[in-house]
A and B are shown apart, each in its own frame.
Chain A
Amino acid sequence: MRRGGKIGFWAAAAFGAACLAPPAYAERLVTSVSTHRVLITSNFTGTELVLFGSIDGAPADTQIGAYDVVVSVRGPARSFVTRRKERILGLWVNTDSREFAQVPTYLAVMSNKPVAEIGPPEMLRRYGIGLVNNVLPPPAGNDAPEVPPEDSFRGAFLRVKTNEGAYTADPKAVTFLTPRFFRAGVPIPGTAQTGDYQVETLLIAKGAVLAQQQTAIEVVKTGFEAVVAQEARNHRFFYGLGTALLALMTGLIATLLFRYD
Chain B
Amino acid sequence: MPIYLPIAELPVNIFLILGLGVAIGFISGMFGIGGGFLMTPLLILLGIPPAVAVASVPGYMAASSFSGTFTYWRKRLVDLGLGFVLLSGAILGTASGVWFFAFLRRAGQLDLFIALAYIVLLTAVGALMMTESVRAILRTWRGMPPILRRPGTHAWFHGLPFKLRFRQSRIYVSAIPITVIGFAAGFIGAVMGVGGGFLLVPALIYLMRVPTTVSVATSLFLTLLTMLVATVLHAVENRTVDAVLALVLMVGGVFGAQFGARAGQAIRAEQLRLLLGLIIIAVGVRVAADLISAPVEPFSVVPKEIWE
Question: Which residues of A are interface residues toward B (Cβ below 8 A)?
Answer: 40-46, 78-87, 90-94, 97, 99, 153, 156-157, 159-161, 163-164, 190-194, 221, 224-226, 228-229, 232-233, 236-237, 239-244, 246-248, 250-255, 258, 261
Contacts and interface: CB of A to CB of B under 8 A. Distances in A.
Nearest to B258: A258
Contact of A255 (B66, B232, B241): B66
A94 B303 contact: no
B232 A237 contact: yes
Nearest to B250: A250
Contacts of B108: 81, 83, 94, 97
Nearest to B75: A261
B154 interface: no
Interface of B: 1-4, 6-7, 9-11, 59-60, 62-67, 70-71, 108-109, 111-112, 227-228, 231-236, 239, 241, 243-244, 246-247, 250-251, 254-255, 257-258, 291-295, 297-304
12 contacts: A46-B11, A90-B292, A156-B297, A232-B241, A240-B232, A240-B236, A244-B59, A244-B62, A246-B246, A247-B62, A252-B70, A254-B67
Contacts of A251: 62-67, 70, 250, 254
A42 to B, nearest CB: 5
Given A84-B299, A247-B62, A247-B227, 7 more contacts: A156-B301, A244-B231, A247-B59, A247-B66, A250-B63, A250-B247, A251-B254
A254 B257 CA distance: 9
A81 B231 contact: no
Contact of B297 (A78, A159, A225, A253): A159
A82 to B, nearest CB: 5
Contacts of B304: 78-81, 99
Contacts of B241: 232, 239-240, 243
A256 B216 CA distance: 21
A31 B2 CA distance: 33
Nearest to B241: A243
Contact of A243 (B9, B59, B111, B258): B59
Nearest 9 pairs of A and B residues by beta carbon: A251-B66, A240-B235, A254-B254, A156-B299, A240-B232, A247-B62, A79-B304, A247-B63, A190-B11
A18 B104 CA distance: 64
A253 B112 CA distance: 40
Given A45-B11, A92-B292, A250-B247, A160 B66 contact: no
A211 to B, nearest CB: 35
Nearest to A255: B67
Given A83-B299, A247-B62, A43 B236 contact: no
A226 to B, nearest CB: 8
B293 to A, nearest CB: 8
A244 B228 contact: yes
A240 B234 contact: yes
B292 A91 contact: yes
Contact of B66 (A45, A80, A248): A248
A188 B292 CA distance: 37
Contacts of A193: 9
Given A236-B239, A240-B234, A243-B246, A42 B66 contact: no
B4 A41 contact: yes
Contacts of B251: 250
A229 B239 CA distance: 10
A227 B7 CA distance: 11
Contacts of A157: 299, 301
A45 B4 CA distance: 7
A82 B303 CA distance: 9
B301 A161 contact: yes
B303 A244 contact: no
A79 B303 contact: yes
A80 B303 contact: yes
Contacts of A233: 239
A160 B299 contact: yes
Contacts of A163: 297
B70 A228 contact: no
Contacts of B302: 80-81, 83
A240 B233 contact: yes
Contacts of B9: 191-194
Contacts of A90: 292
A44 B247 CA distance: 18
A224 to B, nearest CB: 8
Nearest to B111: A94
B231 to A, nearest CB: 5
A93 B247 CA distance: 35
A228 B243 contact: yes
Given A83-B302, A91-B112, A232 B7 contact: yes
A243 B292 contact: no
B67 A246 contact: no
B291 A91 contact: yes
A85 B111 CA distance: 11
Contacts of A45: 2, 4, 11
